[in-house]
């Protein structure tokens, strides 16, 4: 015999069940709320660093491609994927780096030797990698 009509789930007949049901609903609704917040927050970020566009010959500049790889690996965690800056690193996109360092040697020195909260990458990156990442920042971001 089924329970379709004979079993009525009301609080007066089964008082000990209802706190468990309420807790279960709260857990499910809380989990949904957390998942929604995480999804929305993930969508608010800039996502990924801009790709290098094709040059006049139809292929991307290999130096800019290498610079993007360095930027994604070494710079984006502090300066954000699109160079808009975070609490850890200043904005670099939209020509900000060129405004701060009109002399390329100054920007190279900051990347190689570090400054304030900026770590030194001279022992980690080659001179070619530093040049490539600076070109990527100045020409793509």
Tens of pLDDT, residue by residue over 94-115, are 989 888 988 899 999 999 999 9
In a domain, 5, yes or no: no
Q: What is the pLDDT of residue 10?
A: 55
In a domain, 107, yes or no: yes
In a domain, 12, yes or no: no
In a domain, 39, yes or no: no
Per residue in 32-78, pLDDT tens?
A: 544 443 333 333 345 689 999 988 999 999 999 999 999 999 999 99
In a domain, 54, yes or no: no
CA distances from 121 to 18, 47, 73, 76 (A): 60, 24, 12, 14
Q: What is the pLDDT of residue 98?
A: 84
pTM above 0.75, yes or no: no
In a domain, 15, yes or no: no
DSSP, collapsed to helix, strand or coil, labels residue 118 as: strand
Q: What is the pLDDT of residue 25?
A: 56
CATH number, position 66 = 1.10.760.10
Domain residues for the domain of 71 are 62-139
Provide the domain count of the chain. 1
Q: What is the pLDDT of residue 41?
A: 36
Give the number of other Cβ atoms within 10 Å of residue 43's Cβ.
Answer: 8
């Amino acid at each position: 015999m089924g329970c379709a009509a004979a079993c009525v789930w009301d609080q007066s007949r089964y008082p000990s069940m209802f706190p468990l049901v309420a807790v279960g609903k709260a857990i499910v609704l809380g989990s949904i709320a957390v998942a929604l917040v995480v999804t929305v927050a993930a969508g608010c970020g800039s996502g990924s660093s801009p790709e290098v566009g094709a040059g006049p010959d139809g292929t991307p500049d290999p130096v800019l491609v290498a610079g993007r790889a360095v930027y994604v690996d070494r710079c984006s965690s502090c300066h954000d994927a699109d160079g808009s800056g975070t609490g850890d690193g200043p904005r670099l996109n939209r020509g900000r780096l060129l405004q701060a360092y009109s002399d390329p040697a100054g920007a190279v020195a900051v990347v190689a030797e570090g400054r304030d909260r900026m770590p030194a990458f001279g022992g980690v990156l080659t001179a070619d990698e530093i040049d490539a990442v600076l070109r990527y920042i100045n020409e793509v971001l």
